[in-house]
Structure 1
Amino acid sequence: MQKSLNQLPVTLEVPGAKITSEAFGDITVAFTSLSKGTDLAPLLEGLPHDHCQCPHWGYVMKGKIRIRYQDGTEEVTEGGNLYYWPAGHTGVVEEDVEFIEFSPKHEMEHVLQHVKAKLEQAAH
């Protein structure tokens, strides 16, 4: 099976953020676009340790994001970088960023459902 990025269904879209994703077997492939200043921490509140518990492997096509880990360490991932973000992270977008990532399907579904619920709460 093959698809182009523009064939992936929109999973989540709010001002400043868009995630399109689809499961391929046990892996979820996602294309994510986030605006400068986006802080993921409020969306992850309520998950264990208030951090994303899904590991991700990917490639940043453009922009810059600062990843913060549960242990307090940080790293900046920017355009042209391949990355691995283990479970236990959050992030703040330093420059408009676009990345494609690969994640375990079940863990990613759990995180996306949590984020959607947080956004629905905020809308009311």
Structure 2
Amino acid sequence: MTAAAREDAPVALEGDGVELRTQPTGGGPPVGCVRLPRGTDMGPALAGLPGDACPCPHRGHLLEGRLRMRTAEGEQDHEAGQACHWAPGHVPLVLEDCAFVEFSPTDDFRKVTAHIARAA
């Protein structure tokens, strides 16, 4: 893949306003196109993973909205226009409707996505 529109990427998770679309990138990590509505707390969906948090690192860009990443080290807010790195051990809380793109290690990302799908 050299380029793709969000609408062209297959849906990996969907429900309650949450949408995750993923697309292979041709040898690199898949790109995730994510939409999360205000008030979404990923804590319950991540319960049962190590530290009850996402063990997968992500690099990405927040296109719209604001979200808070809760970690063992504290909380950090992110807003539209920022490029971000979320290390393993984070739990997102959405402060304003969000849209972002992220790149994550393929195997780790699949495991977390499968866990969230089972929790839904």
With normalisation by structure 1, the TM-score equals 0.91
Q: Partners of 1:104 and 1:17 in 2: how far apart?
A: 21
Aligned CA-pair RMSD: 1.0
Structure 1: stretches of 5+ with no match in the other structure = 120-124
Superposition map of 1:47-66 within 5 A: 47-66=49-68
SS at match of 2:92: strand
Q: Partners of 1:51 and 1:17 in 2: how far apart?
A: 18
1:6 Cα shift?
Answer: 1.7
Counterpart in 2 of 1:90?
Answer: 91
Counterpart in 2 of 1:78?
Answer: 79
Q: Partners of 1:7 and 1:66 in 2: how far apart?
A: 28
State the identity %.
36
Letter of the 1:44 counterpart: L
Q: Partners of 2:81 and 2:115 in 1: how far apart?
A: 29
Q: Which runs of 4+ in 1 moved over 3 A?
A: none
Q: Partners of 2:33 and 2:85 in 1: how far apart?
A: 15
Q: Partners of 2:23 and 2:8 in 1: how far apart?
A: 9
1:26 Cα shift?
Answer: 4.3
Letter of the 1:7 counterpart: D
1:19 Cα shift?
Answer: 0.5
With normalisation by structure 2, the TM-score equals 0.94
1:117 Cα shift?
Answer: 0.4
The question of whether the paired residues in 2 share the 8 Å contact of 1:23 and 1:105 is answered with: no
The question of whether the paired residues in 2 share the 8 Å contact of 1:44 and 1:114 is answered with: yes
Counterpart in 2 of 1:29?
Answer: 31
